[in-house]
Amino acid sequence: MPGLLSASAGIWVMAGGRHETPAQNGIAHFLEHMAFKGTKRRTSLQIAEEIEDVGGYINAYTSREMTAYYARVLQADVGLALDVIGDIVLNPSFDKKEIEVERHVILQEIGQALDTPDDIVFDWLQEASYPDQAFGRTILGPEERVSSFTRKDLQGFVAEHYGPGQMILAAAGAVDHDAIVKQAEAMFGSMKAKPATSFQAAVFKGSERREVKDLEQVHFAMAFDAPGYRHPDVYTAQVYAMTMGGGMSSRLFQKVREERGLCYSIFAQSGAYEDAGQITLYAGTSAEEIGELTQITMDELKRAADDMSEAEVARARTQIKAGMLMGLESPSSRAERIARLLAIYDRVPGVDEAVARIDAVSVADVRRYAGELAAADSALALYGPVEAAPSLEDIRKRLAA
């Protein structure tokens, strides 16, 4: 990326929450935490100091399909960043004392999530969408599982899933491609291949979860079965979600918040994965107004199939393209995009290819998709004073009417 003086580099491992067995639920996230707790060459303090001594930043995250370890540093320190990241991925010490410390940290993280209604409601929505499936389980894992993981458990998950064929090294910014390849060969060249591990297919089986609690608001989250990222409708789903709840000009924001004042926060988003996808809605409102908010929201979803306009679709296409192109100006976003696209397509499609697919979405496509969505399987999660909130069955009937 010409003109930049910094870079982002990392390792993306194709081992996330959906690769866990029920007994392992939460272990991929536990491993992410342990990455910074010491290796055979560095203590946890040395890991932090080596990156921060050069003004850098190091972090990690766990998703349903991958675990990422990455750093942002200045141009001269890319080699150091890769050395540290490679060390934490290849040589974790899994010190028993550090395991216990980090176990307590994760249990606190779980407790914090439970105390954050607009966070935990999405975990419950995922479970309601994919019940009794790896894809539906929480990434953090339940307390009882996290409390029982051992050093042997962590080593076993790494041994099963952390092979060269399951890893992607991506870097962007002020980088020297040849130097990175040479360093990667030295660091990872001796790794032995591991067989690709299978995972349970995701099958949307919508249900309802309703948790009554004395809160100020009802937290409403709803999901609809949607295309995975290889499906031809994946960009249509993105454009649809943007028109419905992707910004201040979107239909739900205007109708529910600006015209009726029924909520402070309302949005719609589209998510796509290997073999599944979701259109997700969220709103927070009072117990007295959840019924009205739900009715208006469902009516807007139905109306989109009949009167979605060219102006709305054009605006949504532009918003999606702008978000993508602006993101490409960040080396961290670009490195992550490289890794994700390699995982999906085994290549990095050009930006022009993505722009062309977005531009190809027409008003007719969005109207058709809106009509199909109204009949798609759906799931519902409600949290707070939800005794009077409509049921999933009531919502489905209104959509079908």
Please report the DSSP string for 18-34 in residue order: GGS-GGGTTHHHHHHHH
Q: With 90 as the cut, is the pLDDT of residue 1 above it? A: no
Q: Where do runs of H (alpha helix) occur along 136-250?
A: 143-146, 151-161, 177-188, 234-245
**pLDDT bucket at 196, cuts 50 / 70 / 90:** confident
Q: DSSP letter for 216, please.
A: S
Per-domain boundaries in the chain: 6-189, 208-400
Does residue 4 have a pLDDT over 90? yes
Q: Is the pLDDT of residue 133 over 90?
A: yes
The string of pLDDT tens digits covering residues 92-120 is 999 999 999 999 999 999 999 999 999 99
CATH architecture for segment(s) 208-400: 2-Layer Sandwich (3.30)
What 3-state DSSP class applies to 167? strand
Q: Tell me the CATH architecture of domain 6-189.
A: 2-Layer Sandwich (3.30)
Tokens of 388: 């009077």
Cβ–Cβ under 8 Å, residues 187 and 40: no
Give the pLDDT confidence score for residue 157 in this predicted structure: 96
- 210-229 pLDDT, tens digit per residue, is 999 999 999 999 999 999 99
Show the tokens assigned to 52: 């921060």
The one-letter amino acid at 391: S
Check if 6-189 and 208-400 are the same fold: yes
Residue 281, strand partner residues: 222, 268
Average pLDDT over residues 122-138: 97
Among candidate residues 225, 223, 228, 281, the one with its CA nearest the CA of residue 256:
281
Assign residue 221 a region (left: φ > 0; alpha: ψ between -120 and 50; beta: otherwise).
beta
User: What percent of the chain has pLDDT above 70?
Assistant: 100
pLDDT value for 2: 86
55 DSSP assignment: T
Tell me, what's the pLDDT at 8?
A: 97
pLDDT over 90 (residue 254): yes
What DSSP letter does each residue of 71-129 carry, written as one string?
Answer: EEEEGGGHHHHHHHHHHHHH-B---HHHHHHHHHHHHHHHHHHHT-HHHHHHHHHHHHH
Q: Which of 20, 32, 98, 300 is catalytic?
A: 32
Q: What is the mean pLDDT of residues 364-391?
A: 97
CA distance 198 to 202: 12
pLDDT in tens, 36-72: 999 999 999 999 999 999 999 999 999 999 999 999 9
Residue 197 pLDDT more than 90?
no
102 catalytic residue (yes or no):
no
